[in-house]
Amino acid sequence: MHENERHRIILSFVEEKPVATVSELVALTESSEATIRRDIATLHMQKKLRRVRGGAESINPPQFVGLAGRTYSVNEGINVSKKRAIANAAVQLCDDGDAIIINGGTTTSQMVHPLAAKRMQIFTNSFPIAEHLLNHSKNTIMLSGGIIYREQNIILSPFENDVTRNFYAKRMFMGAQGICAQGLMEADPLIIQAEEKLINQSEELIVLADSSKFKVRSSLILCALERITKIITDDSIRDEDRTMLEDAGVDLIIAKETAQMQQVAG
């Protein structure tokens, strides 16, 4: 058996177990312990797996660590105070008794804190949002079903059978990776899929996006600007972007970090 062939077998096996032992891999590849150890050492150097005494373990997936988790940490730090102001403005659009949909994301996650004081019906596909609201609020929580993707922190079903179809709310809140004339943009196909499942389940589509998002373009278009009811952003938005939104008929809400907010007609 060729080295590469063994490596592939080893890597696929390692994914299936908490820790794959040397003897298991010996049996699987019908080679000697020495060979397996050399393979493991090589793959360890290549960071394809982690060598541990007794065998090897998978290097991924990263542990899921909730709202302030590591997988989000890259984005978490950016513009937190602006995101918080935007999230606050979003929650101010809601009243007790309302039913809303919240799509998972770093900006929408900030909504959980002001939502803790509310008494609403909240449907979400974000496990950490549900977790937080369940433990820290009295809201009624409804969750989409499916596989929990740890990286993206969303619950997504590959099937058509999905309670998502049974929920309809006046307002849906979502984030975005980028906004331009083409529409809302995302980079991760999984997130696109999750958002597409939800996007027609509400009357108003409210997008939470700090002003930096207007510079970002990604590879995947989620929906046209015209579909959006409101965009909540911060006061650093450029005039040209403001005009772009006006042309598309999108309401623009500027969230002030001073907790005051100002509405501009669109």
Partner DNA sequence: ATTATTATGATCATTTATGATTGTTTTTGA
Partner DNA sequence: TCAAAAACAATCATAAATGATCATAATAAT
Return residues touching DNA (CB under 7 A).
1-3, 6, 21-23, 31-35, 37-38, 41, 52-55
> How deeply is 191 buried, as exposed, middle or buried, from its count of CB atoms within 10 A (0-12, 13-18, 19+)?
buried
Residue 138 sits in the site that holds a copy of itself (CB under 8 A) = yes
Residue 47 sits in the site that holds a copy of itself (CB under 8 A) = no
Closest by CA position to 193, among listed 164, 165, 171, 222: 222
Residue 52 sits in the site that holds a copy of itself (CB under 8 A) = yes
Torsion of Cα atoms, 112 then 131 then 101 then 73, to 10° = 60
- Considering only 165, 170, 217, 238, the residue that binds a copy of itself (CB under 8 A) is 165
Torsion of Cα atoms, 22 then 24 then 29 then 31, to 10° = 50
Residue 2 sits in the site that holds a copy of itself (CB under 8 A) = yes
Residues 6+ apart with CB under 8 A from 189: 220
Residue 164 sits in the site that holds a copy of itself (CB under 8 A) = yes
| Residue whose CB is less far from a copy of itself, 41 or 187 | 41
- The residues facing 221 across adjacent strands are 185
Residue 152, Cβ neighbours under 10 Å: how many?
Answer: 18
- Considering only 21, 35, 75, 193, the residue that binds a copy of itself (CB under 8 A) is 21
Residue 23 interacts, among a copy of itself, DNA, none and using kind-specific CB cut-offs from 5 to 8 Å, with DNA
Residues lying near a copy of itself in the complex (CB under 8 A) are found at 2-5, 8, 15-19, 21, 52-55, 57-58, 61, 63-66, 96-97, 117-119, 127, 130-131, 134-135, 138, 140-148, 150, 155, 157, 159, 161-166
